């Protein structure tokens, strides 16, 4: 299977003030991401509040994003759900509309505690779109599925024909690298932590990744890879350190899903507020976050519309 090179963005879901999905900003959103060096989108995942969307809303979002897909801009659809039948249908729909690939994280309920349980979950979902690459989204902080990923690769190898790899959003660069080395690098290991792109390049040989802060800081994050490829390690380190400064700020404002989504408004693309049960920023918190971002020079380096 084709391996992804460069950074894929995990977009936020735009909402109207009444909480309904708003498809109107997506054309401008896609254009902005392309302009700032992103190579595609992984929609309806954690950044997109996927588990707070109805299946019909998820389909409508996929149908809208697919309009802006091209050879240099992939659309991957997160289809994970607590209902495996719903996930399989979402996978079928993604294939029907022409998505490049699909992915799923382990469900938050029921908690998956064994590799074999996870393999069965993956196998059933991936079978809904056998012609599309399937990526497992490893983010145990969200679902408690703290399972060994090399063991997962061993279990799916030869059993799930369209298993393409893992979006690895966890802290172990060691395990990430062991997965990358498995079976002579058979599977595509997409790095999923924006704060450690440079270490993944240096140790893990990463080629591609899926990010959340890429929504508004993609220019800096893609610059890390560009500088690394040119051999300019000092510049790559500076871009990585700046990316961490931005992450330090959003961590004080309820993280990327809440604080990061409000940053989109500050750079000129208002995507609305988050759905319940997320606690949205107050106006005072937004102003304070803006001041902190100004203090580190963010608005001179962030994504451009």
* CB-CB contact of 153 with 147 (8 Å): no
**Looking at 51, 121, 137, 216, which residue is catalytic?**
137
b/e burial code for range 51-71 (CB count within 10 A of at least 16 → b):
bebeeebbbebbbbbbebbee
Tokens in use for 19? 């909480």
Say what the pLDDT of residue 128 is: 98
Tokens in use for 246? 């931005």
CATH code of the domain covering residue 61:
3.20.20.70
pLDDT tens digits for range 69-121: 999 999 999 999 999 999 999 999 999 999 999 999 999 999 999 999 999 99
Q: Is 286 helix (H, G, I), strand (E, B) or coil?
A: helix
171, part of any domain: yes
Say what the pLDDT of residue 205 is: 83
Does the reported pTM lie above 0.95?
yes
pLDDT tens digits for range 140-164: 999 999 999 999 999 999 999 999 9
What rounded mean pLDDT belongs to the chain? 97
104, part of any domain: yes
pLDDT tens digits for range 161-219: 999 999 999 999 999 999 999 999 999 999 999 999 999 999 888 899 999 999 999 99
Q: How many domains does the chain have?
A: 1
* Residue partners of 138: CB distance under 8 A and separation at least 6: 105, 145, 149, 166, 167, 168, 169, 170, 192
Confirm whether 137 is a catalytic residue.
yes
235, part of any domain: no
176, part of any domain: yes
86, part of any domain: yes
pLDDT tens digits for range 277-291: 999 999 999 999 999
Q: Is 251 helix (H, G, I), strand (E, B) or coil?
A: helix
Say what the pLDDT of residue 1 is: 82
**Looking at 39, 74, 167, 261, which residue is catalytic?**
167
224, part of any domain: no
Q: Is 12 helix (H, G, I), strand (E, B) or coil?
A: coil
Domain that residue 203 falls in: 6-216
288, part of any domain: no
Average pLDDT value for residue range 241-258: 98
* CB-CB contact of 14 with 47 (8 Å): no
301, part of any domain: no
Average pLDDT value for residue range 17-21: 96
Distance, in Å, from the CA atom of 243 to the CA atom of 46, rounded to the nearest integer, reads 20
């Amino acid at each position: 299977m084709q391996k992804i090179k460069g950074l894929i963005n995990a977009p936020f879901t735009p909402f109207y003030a009444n909480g309904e999905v708003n498809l109107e900003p997506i054309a401008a959103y896609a254009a902005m991401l392309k302009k700032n060096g992103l190579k595609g989108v992984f929609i309806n995942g954690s950044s997109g509040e996927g588990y707070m969307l109805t299946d019909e809303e998820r389909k409508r979002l996929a149908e809208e994003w697919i309009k802006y897909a091209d050879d240099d801009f992939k659309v991957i659809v997160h289809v994970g759900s607590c209902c495996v039948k719903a996930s399989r249908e979402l996978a079928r729909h993604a294939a029907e509309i022409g998505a490049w690939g699909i992915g799923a994280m382990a469900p938050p309920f029921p908690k998956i505690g064994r590799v074999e349980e996870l393999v069965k979950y993956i196998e059933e979902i991936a079978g809904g779109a056998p012609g599309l690459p399937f990526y497992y989204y490893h983010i145990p902080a969200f679902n408690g599925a703290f399972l060994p990923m090399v063991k997962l690769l061993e279990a799916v190898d030869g059993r799930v024909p369209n298993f393409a790899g893992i979006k690895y959003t966890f802290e172990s660069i060691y395990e990430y690298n062991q997965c990358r080395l498995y079976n002579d690098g058979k599977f595509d290991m997409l790095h999923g932590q924006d704060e450690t792109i440079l270490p993944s390049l240096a140790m893990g040989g990463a080629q591609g990744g899926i990010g959340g802060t890429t929504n508004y800081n993609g220019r800096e994050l893609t610059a890390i890879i560009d500088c690394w490829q040119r051999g300019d390690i000092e510049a790559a380190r500076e871009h990585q350190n700046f990316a961490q400064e931005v992450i330090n700020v959003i961590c004080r404002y309820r993280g990327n899903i809440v604080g990061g989504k409000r940053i989109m408004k500050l750079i000129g693309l208002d995507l609305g507020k988050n759905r319940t049960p997320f606690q949205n920023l107050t106006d005072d918190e937004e102003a304070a976050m803006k001041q902190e971002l100004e203090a580190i020079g963010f608005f001179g380096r962030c994504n451009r519309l």
